[in-house]
Structure 1
Amino acid sequence: MMNTFPYQFIAIEGNIGAGKTTLSNQLAEEYGCRLILEQFTDNPFLPLFYDNPERYSFPVELFFMTERHKQLQEELSQTDLFQQSIIADYFFIKTLLFAKNNLKEEEYRLFQRLFNVLNSTFPRPDLLVYLHRPVERLLHHIRKRGRTFEQDITGTYLEQIQASYLEFFRTETAIPILIIELEDLDFANEIAAYQQVKDLIFQEYGPGVHRKQP
């Protein structure tokens, strides 16, 4: 490890197919950080949800929330939280943002009450990074990685998710939020592109939203 990672806890967020897990892995491997990866494929309701969203939206979101809470509670409560840097490829707030798009109004109100109770105990990240890509590029990545249950995801759905994130960012003033405009930048396979993204992440940011382009 050549350099010290500048954060104790950061979260890498983004829409489906943005590359958040790839970037999290790259940073964790280079800097020896502890890595928290979302275990979304374990959700037994997810394939059913993509086939019939109206029927399975509440169980799929409830399962996501309880599993994310369990994982983050276990990972972030360990005694070495401030001795070894942590990188997570999601932030717990995504639970509420996806639910807002997928649930009926009365279901969402109940879900939000449960979320607020669970969310109150988590530490906030030192930096929240949001990887922003055009919807067309997201769809290309989704098709390329070939997860069967994702192939029916539409551009409209991705636009709704994106809008939810951006709306949340406008209201979050307590932590630094870095939105990186990636377009078609391939940091997974191009060292120079990865370095560009990393240079942006390693800058100092105050609370609020910061938009940057490599």
Structure 2
Amino acid sequence: MHIAISGNIGSGKTTLTTLLAKHYGWLPKYETVAENPYLDLFYKDMKRWAFNLEVFFLKERFKDVLDIAQSGKTIVQDRSIFEGVHIFSANNKDMGNLDERDFDTYMELFDIMTSLVDAPDLLVYLRASVPHLVENIRRRGRDYEQSIPIAYLENLNRRYESFVVEKYPGKVLVIDVDNLDFLQNPTDFAGIIDRIDAELFGLFPDERSNQLV
């Protein structure tokens, strides 16, 4: 089984991936972020480095999907190959960071790759407002993230809403996280678990899950 955790930069994807892996005994699969040699360059000059950045991420995500398909284990993944393309790459194109030629080449690669793999069994989307994202980004203190433009986060948020509703080919669970602290508050985390159990195993969530929507 394959569960993907989806959400904008600073929404808590990695934290939730870690917590779910520990709770269920699933194998976590984390996004290759720090290892991307173009990330710091991209935030300094998005137009120059966007294509390099996106191709590196696409390559890594495709490797991850192949590993997941061949593992025979239940995997919880920090960000899927689908949102990497339909949200981040499409956003870079619309912002002028990717020209038409480069984007078409990139999409041809994506289409070939995704013809060989299945969508996750469940996509858990962590919906967060831009102020919430900014605060989380500030708190975790990654140098290369501190210069992210607010407009960039706003554009990504709009694309997440469109992607989750209109483009994603599989099952989606939406969790609003602005008023949750699932790392420090066991009740918040238990509510998320209830809703995931309901989606995956047909169990009915208890009243705590009503606080999440």
> Which residue among 30, 35, 39 is the counterpart of 1:37?
30
Matches within 5 A, 1:76-115: 76-78=69-71, 80=72, 84-96=73-85, 97-102=87-92, 103-115=98-110
Distance 2:168 2:160 in 1: 14
- TM-score, normalised to structure 2's length? 0.87
**Superposition deviation, residue 27 in structure 1:** 0.9
Superposition map of 1:41-190 within 5 A: 41-78=34-71, 80=72, 84-96=73-85, 97-102=87-92, 103-172=98-167, 174-190=169-185
- Structure 1: stretches of 5+ with no match in the other structure: 1-7, 206-211
Deviation at 1:168, TM superposition (A): 1.8
Residue number in structure 2 paired with 1:4: none
Counterpart mapping for 1:1-16 below 5 A: 8-16=1-9
Give the TM-score taking structure 1 as reference length. 0.86
> Cα RMSD over matched residues?
1.6
Q: Per residue, is there more helix in 1 or in 2?
A: 2
8 Å CA contact retained: 1:181, 1:213: no
Residue aligning to 2:95? none
Moved more, 31-40 or 98-107: 98-107
With over 3 angstroms needed to count, the CA separation of the structure-2 counterparts of 1:13 and 1:173, relative to structure 1, is: closer
**Contact map agreement 2:40 2:144 (CA 8 A) in 1:** yes
Deviates more, 1:170-179 or 1:50-59: 170-179
| Separation in 1, partners of 2:54, 2:105 | 12
Using the alignment, how far apart are the partners of 1:85 and 1:44 within structure 2?
Answer: 29
**Contact 2:82 2:168 survives alignment (8 Å):** no
- Going from structure 1 to structure 2, the CA distance change for 1:45 and 1:173 (only over 3 Å counts) comes to closer
Contact 1:21/1:37, CA 8 A, preserved across alignment: yes
Ranges in structure 2 where 5+ consecutive residues have no aligned partner: 93-97, 201-209
Work out whether residues 14 and 131 of structure 1, in 8 Å CA contact, stay in contact via their aligned partners in 2: yes
